């Protein structure tokens, strides 16, 4: 399982939180968030189709639209991503990951 970009994460979080959703549902919800960049409907559609191709979302036709539902539970996805991050950045050393997280919370790094 590969990492997701920021928009992909926001879409997955919406579907995990709200259950099966149409592109219209997600588009309206993300654009309603305060301070969010307004996204085109086609952008959301493209990203959701991409997530379906990656087997993270199920795409089911319902009349004139499609309903997308998660194929992976959020907890499972999060665990896979944390293990992958630990393996790739900290050579599988859990303690180093935790120490880095603790240091980062106490003294946040500058934005890159």
> What's the total number of domains in the chain?
2
Q: Which tens digit of pLDDT belongs to each residue from 21-72? A: 999 999 999 999 999 899 999 999 999 999 999 999 999 999 999 999 999 9
What are 42's two structure tokens? Answer: 């086609």
- 51 occurs within a structural domain: yes
Q: Are 96 and 44 found together in one domain? A: no
Q: Is 14 among the domain residues?
A: yes
- In this prediction, residue 95 carries a pLDDT of 94
- Residue-level pLDDT at 2: 86
Same domain, 22 and 65: yes
Q: Say whether pTM exceeds 0.95.
A: no
Specify the long-range contacts of residues 106-111, CB closer than 8 Å, at least 24 apart.
none
Residue 112 lies in a domain: no
Which residues span the domain enclosing 27?
6-70
The 10s digit of each residue's pLDDT in 75-108 is 999 999 999 999 999 999 999 999 998 998 888 8
Distance from C-alpha of 108 to C-alpha of 44, rounded to nearest angstrom: 31
Kindly state the percentage of the chain with pLDDT values over 70. 99
53 lies in the same domain as 92: no
Same domain, 33 and 65: yes
In a shared domain, residues 58 and 41: yes
Same domain for 48 and 89? no
Edge to edge, what strands does the sheet with 21-22 contain? Answer: 21-22, 65-70, 57-62
């Amino acid at each position: 399982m590969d990492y997701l970009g920021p928009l992909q994460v926001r879409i997955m979080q919406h579907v995990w939180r709200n259950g099966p959703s149409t592109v219209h549902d997600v588009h309206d919800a993300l654009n309603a968030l305060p301070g969010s960049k307004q996204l085109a409907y086609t952008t959301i559609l493209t990203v959701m189709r991409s997530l379906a191709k990656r087997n993270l979302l199920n795409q089911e036709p319902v009349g004139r639209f499609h309903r997308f539902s998660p194929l992976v539970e959020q907890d499972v996805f999060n665990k896979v991503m944390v293990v992958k991050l630990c393996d790739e950045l900290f050579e599988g050393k859990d303690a180093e990951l935790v120490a880095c997280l603790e240091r980062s919370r106490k003294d946040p790094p500058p934005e890159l």
